[in-house]
Every structure is written in structure tokens, then in C-alpha cells.
Amino acid sequence: MSSALAISMLSGCAKNEEKSDKKAESKYETVTTDDLKSALKDEKAVVLDARLNDAYNGWAIDGAKRGGHIPGAKDFSASWINCEYDDKENLEGETREEVLKEAIENKGISADKKVIVYDTNGKDAIEVANYLTEKGIKNIYTYDANEWINDESLDMESYPNYKMLVPASVVKEITDGKVPEGFTKSKDIKIVDVRWGDNKESGYLDGHVPKAVHINTDSFEPPKEYVKGIEEWRLADDQTLVKLLLDSGIKAGDCVISTSPEPMAASRFAVICKYLGVEDVRVMSSGLVGWNQAGYELSKEDIKPVAEKEFGVEVPANPDWIDTIEEVKEQLNTPDYTLVDNRTKEEFIGKETGYSYHKIAGRIEGAVFGYAGKKNSSSVSYYRNIDKSMRNADEIKAMWDECKIDTNKRLAFMCGSGWRAAEILWYSKVMGLDKTTLYSDGWIRWSNEGNPYVTGEPGK
């Protein structure tokens, strides 16, 4: 794991004050449902969902009767405006204003368009509308989405597997002993906190989701010399991974909720759990940003797991979740397989390695560039919103279309050593893509073992 990611996981900003439940006073005209329907068909109009991305993805939260978003609506969450974010200490070196300016452009919001912003609490839409007004957007209206949601004749759109990303509010209910009805078929729910380092150096003892057992990332990818003179952090063998889960109190029939200050780490462990055969695995969305923004308390208790003796299934029960280097070599040039390289463009073309401990720059010939972060090898900013929630699926698909990535094929996501690609794989599953996998060992193993590679822009 890179030092930059470790810093990102250990650092945090001050907790935002909990928002008032009172509805905000509006200076914007409210539109009707018929007005909204017309706007959804109008190229000179943009409809924005100002709620948490968890609601947009599919969760019925904050009292809403149905989850998901109005079909055709784009997302611009009020959370993005006031979430924890350090303008100076972040992986991409971008201010909040720079990040949100790009979001405005990506969603086609401009001064010449009619903009309708909706929510269900009477606050979020006004907060977003006020922000956009400050940016020169004048033709703004609001809409109470409860009118649409409560009308069963009107469709709502959710991601096929939105439940794989769990809102902080739902995790809070679970930690309070109030498991939402129908949340899982599993008898036991296990919460983990995934970070690099032991309980103390990782920051776990400084604050974690209550009841979460600490998982040191070195326990599933221990540093080891695989190639003479070169230390790597490859994924451990299956038996070591199973022992880690058992020692952590996890068996195949459990529901595991993976949390972390860094969604990348939570996703990395979640993929391992699915690969081995845990039936129900979730990732808490937004890292700890959403948890802190809601005003929930973190625990400093050192939770000791009760070890299990039997995992319950033969491992790996789901081998298709992770491709070996041999499987990549075998499938790389076949027509129904695409190796997606989720690194920075500089790493992809061989201008830099991305890692202080790795010296070889380049890419696997035949791999297709698929975005991750802009500048930093620990970033997946192209796949996230500023509050560390998942970027909306339409924008992710648009990136893949630009890269000529065909989602009908089997997609194997890779990066340097599996971290960035694991988060992107998780989002692909949320989107309903069932033929996606992780090439876990990534560029570092490929290049260290002397396999062929290329540099430069493809086709040049």
C-alpha cells in the first residue's frame, strides 16, 4: 500500500455540525410533477437530485416510501457542498470549488438551461440551488420529490445491486441493535474496519464505527520477497485468507459490512470476502465521510473478535471474482475479454511507475485504459464524488464508452496491486455487471516477473 493512501486513510477533517431537521425557507419557484416530466424531455433543462447518493442509488432513506431516483435525473448532492474535505491535503491537489466546477460541467449545468432541483426534506434542494445561483446559474426551480415517490404509477430507477453499498444511517441502525427488516437473510452481521497498520498506528483506536473489528491490510497482503531483492504486497494464498476471516469471527453464512476511512480499503477486503464465499458482503458508502457528516459518534473501543472454527464452504467458492496472472495471460487476446487498466494516464503510458517502491513503468500490451485518478496512484477520483460516494453509473459508463470498453464482455479490472481496481470492481457489481473480475496482482507482479510490456500512447 502506498504512503499517500495511508496518509489519506489516517487524516480527517473536523466533524460537521448535524443539520437541522427544519425545512429551509425557499426563494425558488416550485414546479409541478407535470412540469418535471416536461423538463425531463427538454434538452435545455436539467433535473438534479440533491439528496444523498445513497438515496439516488436505490435506498429508501430519510422517510421516503421508495428508493432510487427519478429516471433521467442527474445527481448533485447537497452533501458535496459541506462534506469533510481538505482543500490543501488531498490526493489530487484540488480545491472543493475545482471539484464541484467539474461536476457542474459533467452534468451539463449551464446558465442557459432551466434547472430543477429536487429533494424530500425541503432543505437539500435549496442548498444546492443556492450554491448554483452563486455560480451564475439563474433559471432554477425546486420540486418536492415526495409527490413523485408517493405516486406508484411513476417509475423510480435504482441500480441493480445498490444494496452492496450501505448508507451510514443504515449501519448506525445496525450498530444500535435495530437491524432494518429484510436487510439480510444472514443470522449474524459482522462489521469490520479495514486500514493499514495495527490497532494503534492505523488510527482504529482514535475512532471507528462502533462494533467494528479491525483488519490490518498487511494481514491479507503481507509484505514478502517474491522476486529476488524486491518486496511486494500481493494477495495472500487462500488458506491464509480463510484463517484471517475465521480469526476475525467471519464465516461464509455471515453478512459482512466492510468499513474504512478509505472506501478503497473497504472494497479490497469486501472483494476478498466474496471471492472466498461469504454470502452477503456490503461496503459502507463514502468511507467515514457520511458517518461523520450525519453527526454519529465514533467508538474508540478495541473490539476483540470471537474466532470461528469452520468457514462453512470450500474455498474459493467464487473464484470468478479474482483472476490469476495465468488466467489473464490465457484470456488477454480473446474476443470476449478486456483487461481494463485503472491507473493514471502517466502510469499507463509508462511515464511513471506510480509507486516509490516500484521501478518499472509501462503497461500490459492489450490492456485498455479505464481511468482511476488524475495524478495520484492512490486515487480513484474519476469514480467518486467529492464525499467519497460512488459516481453515478451513467457517467462511469460514458467514461468506458470513451475508452471503447464494452460492458458486454468479461472485464478484468487491474491497477498496480489491486486496490484501485477493487473499488472500481465493486461499483461495477453495484451497476449490475456480473461478468466483471479483479486481476489482483496487477502491474507490479506482471512487470517484476519479467513479463513483456509496452510504453507510450497506444497506436503511436
Rounded CA separation 128/141 (Å):
11
pLDDT at 385: 99
Note the pLDDT of residue 459.
80
The C-alpha angle 226, 231, 235, rounded to 5 degrees, equals 65
Q: Whole-number mean pLDDT of the chain?
A: 95
**Chain segment 123-175, per-residue pLDDT in tens:** 999 999 999 999 999 999 999 999 999 999 999 999 999 999 999 999 999 99
| pLDDT for 38 beyond 70 | yes
pLDDT digits (tens, 9 = 90+) for 232-275: 999 999 999 999 999 999 999 999 999 999 999 999 999 999 99
Are 393 and 40 spatial neighbours (Cβ–Cβ below 8 Å)? no
What one-character-per-residue DSSP string does 109-162 give?
Answer: --TTSEEEEEESSSSHHHHHHHHHHHTT---EEEEETHHHHT-TTS--B--TTG
Average pLDDT of the residues in 86-105: 98
Question: Is residue 8 over pLDDT 90?
Answer: no
Q: Is the pLDDT of residue 363 over 60?
A: yes
Residue 333: all three cell numbers together: 487476446
Tell me the C-alpha distance between 117 and 95, whole Å: 24
State the pLDDT at residue 317: 99
**Is the pLDDT assigned to residue 13 strictly greater than 60?**
no
| pLDDT above 70: residue 201 | yes
- 3-class DSSP assignment, residue 413: strand
Q: In the chain, what percentage of residues exceed pLDDT 70?
A: 95
pLDDT tens digit sequence for 376-432:
999 999 999 999 999 999 999 999 999 999 999 999 999 999 999 999 999 999 999
With contact defined as beta carbons under 8 Å apart, do 191 and 209 qualify?
yes
| pLDDT-derived band at 14, boundaries 50, 70, 90 | very low
User: What band does 22 get if pLDDT is binned at 50, 70 and 90?
Assistant: low
Residue 23: pLDDT band (50, 70, 90) is low
pLDDT at 24: 67
Give the pLDDT of residue 26: 75
Q: Given this model, what pLDDT does residue 331 score?
A: 98
**Can you list the domains of the chain with their CATH numbers?**
24-149 (3.40.250.10), 162-317 (3.40.250.10), 321-448 (3.40.250.10)
C-alpha cell at 292: 461523520
> 258-290 burial, b if ≥16 CB within 10 A, otherwise e?
bbbbbbbbbbbbbbbbbbbbbbbbbbbbbbbbb
- pTM, 2 dp: 0.94
Q: What is the DSSP letter of 307?
A: -
Alpha carbons 314 and 312: distance in angstroms, whole number: 7
**DSSP letters along 48-113, please?**
EE-S-HHHHHT---TT-SS-SB-TT-EE--THHHHSS--SSSSTT---HHHHHHHHHHHTT--TTS
For 47, the enclosing helix (H) or strand (E) is strand 45-49
Arithmetic mean of pLDDT, 325-340? 98
With b for 16 or more beta-carbon neighbours within 10 A and e for fewer, the 391-403 pattern comes to bbbebbeeebeee
Q: What is the pLDDT of residue 96?
A: 99
* pLDDT confidence of residue 266: 99
**Over residues 435-450, mean pLDDT:** 98
**How far apart are the C-alpha atoms of 47 and 40, rounded to whole Å?**
7
